[in-house]
Amino acid sequence: MVYFGEFRGKTDKQGRIVIPSKLRNFLSVKKNKNIYITKGLEYCLFIFSDKMWSNQSAKLKDLPFTKGNPRTFTRLFFSGAFQSQIDKQGRILIPSNLLAYAGIKENIVIIGAGTRVEIWDEKRWNEYYELSLKTYENISEQLMEM
């Protein structure tokens, strides 16, 4: 499954957000409706379906815990993780510690980012997008050389 698209929304007073229906159906499969939210990179939040969480966890468990960077990354990645489910109104609850990490107060952007969904504070996303768009072509060329 590849997640894609950009959607704008808001958090409610309880820290819930509505997952757009185009992403919701892929995140929450019928057998297991669990999703996982954790600290992303560049101060966004990552959301994984149950299957993608298992895949990502398997990759990370193979990192050597005796080395500093893998140990730090896995600590931060897993300690911030929260298991949730999408309710009947298409909402998920985001814990206050994750909202604070991402700087989310009200306006958000939800993007499909390939193997995961990301949630951004709207202002932070707009700034990141504008900066990144300037290097988009150069990054493309470098990736194609790999």
| CA 63 vs CA 44, 47, 106: distances in Å | 23, 21, 36
What are the tens digits of pLDDT across the range 106-146?
A: 999 999 999 999 999 999 999 999 999 999 998 888 888 87
CA separation for the pair 93, 17 (Å, rounded):
7
Length of the chain: 146
What pLDDT is stored for residue 102 in this prediction?
98
Q: What are the pLDDT tens digits along the chain (146 aa)?
A: 789 999 999 999 999 999 998 898 778 655 567 899 999 999 999 999 999 999 999 999 999 988 989 999 999 999 999 999 999 899 999 999 999 999 999 999 999 999 999 999 999 999 999 999 999 998 888 888 87
CA separation for the pair 122, 85 (Å, rounded):
23
- Give me the amino acid identity at 84: S
CA separation for the pair 52, 54 (Å, rounded):
5
What pLDDT is stored for residue 92 in this prediction?
94
What pLDDT is stored for residue 29 in this prediction?
56
pTM, 2 dp: 0.91
> What domains sit in the chain, N to C, each tagged with a CATH number?
6-144 (3.40.1550.20)
